[in-house]
Structure 1
């Protein structure tokens, strides 16, 4: 599963940029590239914040799924893509967080989406190369399967999150574009 964010830059804005830079119009691709790169990193950080606001997930786990393809002066596009499969349920909040074979709980509680926790009646915690959440696939003791939660691209890809992230990245792009223009004009003096 993959999810991609887009910030669209209009060509009319580039024409205005060339007029604004005047004698330094050759620097326009560099200015746009720097602003796009900053907007791309802002996109990732805002997506991580939004995922943390809506889900019980670690920021490092969300950040690891993102790939940023940066802009250059010859290629004026930047892309931010989140790609990953399902995330194991043990990476989210769960209780009890250690195996209790002597006093097992009636149900395991897992919290993937905020707020609250959901009961999983047939799930259990086992320490198999670390603490993990499993469920039996038959009435017998084995085989067991590891339970998975929602994929991170789906967490950051819902409509509400996309709108917030794209709005913030567009704000950053415009702010950084103004800053880079001032920087080029001041360096030319």
Structure 2
């Protein structure tokens, strides 16, 4: 969530004295532009931080852009990400296709090296009847009525909101949002001054 300070609003009122609803006329478009820049920055930074493609990130996450609203003495705008967990296979996995008697290795964060699963966990890469390939783990002590074999559970990774909420990602997004908002505030002030003949 981004909130513009009272100091900034006071400055706008001082410069644009006489312009009706000057703060809203300046801040609504500035915040809207800043939040959209934040969305772009989030996608870019997630891909720099995690082993995830743009297609997988965009298809599994949904960005809810909340309208800029006036709240008390300030104006607030926010972006919310939602989306489910993503199969681990969509990140860095070796091998990425089924290979008999091979325990896979995986890495979710780009800062981390591939880590091999413990052989005792019975983790492997398998292709389902649907054609979907995933990193599977046998559930010891469970039996599937359909196959008579131990049930399989697909291993998953963090969901889109968790990735966007990463401290490194959030810091970058906030910096970009504030940078764009400040640029747009100046632009909107100049636009209104020229419009009013100031």
Judging by fraction of residues, say which structure has more strand.
Answer: 2
The 8 Å contact of residues 50 and 108 in structure 2, kept in 1 or not, is answered as yes
Following superposition, the deviation at residue 112 of structure 1 comes to: 0.9
Structure 1 residue aligned with 2:105, among 109, 126, 134? Answer: 109
The 8 Å contact of residues 3 and 75 in structure 2, kept in 1 or not, is answered as no
Structure 1 residue aligned with 2:15, among 11, 20, 34? Answer: 20
The 8 Å contact of residues 134 and 154 in structure 2, kept in 1 or not, is answered as yes
2:50 is aligned to: 55
Deviates more, 1:110-119 or 1:19-28: 19-28
The 8 Å contact of residues 135 and 145 in structure 1, kept in 2 or not, is answered as yes
2:175 is aligned to: 167
The 8 Å contact of residues 70 and 76 in structure 2, kept in 1 or not, is answered as no
CA RMSD of aligned residues (A): 2.4
1:143 is aligned to: 151
Q: Name the TM-score, length of structure 2 as normaliser.
A: 0.79
CA shift digits 1:66-88 (9 cap, x unpaired):
22112157994211112334321
1:127 is aligned to: 127
* Counterpart secondary structure, 1:19: helix
CA shift digits 1:77-131 (9 cap, x unpaired):
211112334321022122222223xxx2532122211142221243222222222
Q: Which has the larger radius of gyration?
A: 2
Number of matched residues? 181
CA distance in 1, matches of 2:140, 2:123: 12
